[in-house]
Amino acid sequence: MTFSVTILGSSSALPTSKRFPSAHVLNVHERLFLIDCGEGTQIQLRRFKLPINRINHIFLTHSHGDHVLGIFGLISTFNLLGRKADLHVYGVTDFEDIFYKNIDYFTDQMSFKVIYHVVDPFKVEQIYTDRHVVVSTLPLRHRVPAVGYLFREAPKPLNIRKELIAKYNLSLSEIVEIKNGSDYITPKGEVIPNSEFTYIASLPRSYAYCSDTLYSERLVGLVKNVDLLYHEATFLHSHLKLARLTGHSTAKQAATVAFKAGVGKLIIGHFSSRYKNEKDLLKEAEEIFPLTEIVNDGNTFSVEPKSTY
């Protein structure tokens, strides 16, 4: 089953000729989730041939323009295309009023419903779940209220050992109960632990998106052991004072989060346009956490179990 992320935009405040502002698309079993929506997101969706009609949920980290200015054009395009399905948008309180006012101003006679879900940027809470994925918030430390997101595959049903079905002549109802976690009780009253009957074919995969944040020890704990971590790396560590002033992280700090959290792989982006060679940022991060890659617009990263990296 597909679990991958495509980078639509990897620049920070200023777009460049090579990099659009922040936006990622997460593909979970062929359902698309948009994370941040910087200017030009809909152009990138078309450029990289991603079906926008599959986007029903958009997760915004905070109200700065390089993360949200693309959403109004995208919603207008949805409307022009005659969209009917509800669109769910998740974001902080201070953006809700601006969000609805812009939609009302720029879009007439909406063909679909837009529902804004307010998230608390200071709490860790589950905000969305379906049979494929569970989404939780990750509090960030920025100049304005900001939140990251953790996407985990929903736990998969237990597999039952076929040889034991025959050995104990299990009925269909007994098989269902065991797959749901129950122990098995033989006709003689012997209790056989569920763990002897079942096994997990593969562990749920996970992706964490952490953009626009100061270094955070709390965040280290929240992204512990995730398979793929995206962490902003706006500056080199030689510009640490500027990073602190603007509420951002350095490549070294992003790598330190990855190292302390024991993640499977780190990808870094949201680069300041002051750097003409992003490989310097990569080199700085790799010195702390070797399993690091820089992101470029159009890159797709498969989210794999941590042990495979």
pLDDT, tens only, 9-50: 999 988 888 999 999 999 999 999 999 999 999 999 999 999
| Residue 151 and residue 244 in one domain | yes
Give the whole-angstrom CA distance, residue 144 versus residue 161. Answer: 52
Indicate yes or no: pTM above 0.85: yes
- Answer whether 184's CB lies under 8 Å from 178's CB: yes
Structural domain of 256: 3-156+202-308
Break the chain down into helix, strand, coil percent, rounded to 5.
Answer: 30, 25, 40
Domain count, the chain: 2
Closest CA to 8 of 205, 251, 230: 230
Give the whole-angstrom CA distance, residue 265 versus residue 235. Answer: 20
| Residue 188 and residue 64 in one domain | no
Beta strands in 60-193 (DSSP E): 87-91, 114-118, 126-129, 133-139, 147-153, 159-160, 184-185, 191-192
3-state secondary structure of 89: strand
In order of 13, 39, 184, 242, the CA distances from 23 in angstroms are 12, 9, 48, 24
Q: How many CB atoms are closer than 10 A to CB 188? A: 5
Among the candidates 133, 168, 198, a domain finishes at 198
Provide the residue type at 137 as one letter: T
Catalytic residue among 36, 66, 227, 297: 66
- Answer whether 258's CB lies under 8 Å from 289's CB: yes
Q: Is the dihedral of CA 149, 284, 5, 19 positive or negative?
A: positive
| Residue 191 and residue 47 in one domain | no
| Residue 69 and residue 85 in one domain | yes
3-state secondary structure of 218: helix
Helical packing angle, 279-286 and 251-261, nearest 10°:
40
| Residue 127 and residue 242 in one domain | yes
Residue 104 annotated as catalytic = no
Token pair in block for residue 75: 């919603």
- Answer whether 192's CB lies under 8 Å from 183's CB: yes
Q: Round to the nearest angstrom and report the end-to-end CA distance of the chain.
A: 18
| Residue 131 and residue 194 in one domain | no
pLDDT for res 218? 97
| Residue 165 and residue 246 in one domain | no
Q: How many CA atoms lie within 13 A of 226 on its CB side?
A: 28
Closest CA to 197 of 227, 177, 223, 219: 177
Give the whole-angstrom CA distance, residue 251 versus residue 279. Answer: 11
| Residue 216 and residue 191 in one domain | no
Give the whole-angstrom CA distance, residue 45 versus residue 8. Answer: 7
DSSP H or E stretch at residue 34: strand 31-35
pLDDT for res 201? 66
CATH number, position 261: 3.60.15.10
| Residue 69 and residue 110 in one domain | yes
| Residue 227 and residue 273 in one domain | yes
Among the candidates 174, 198, 222, a domain finishes at 198
Among the candidates 173, 198, 223, a domain finishes at 198
| Residue 41 and residue 180 in one domain | no
Provide the residue type at 228 as one letter: L
pLDDT, tens only, 83-101: 999 999 999 999 999 999 9
Positions in the chain whose pLDDT score sits under 70:
201
List residues bridging with 299 in a β-sheet. Answer: none
| Residue 213 and residue 265 in one domain | yes
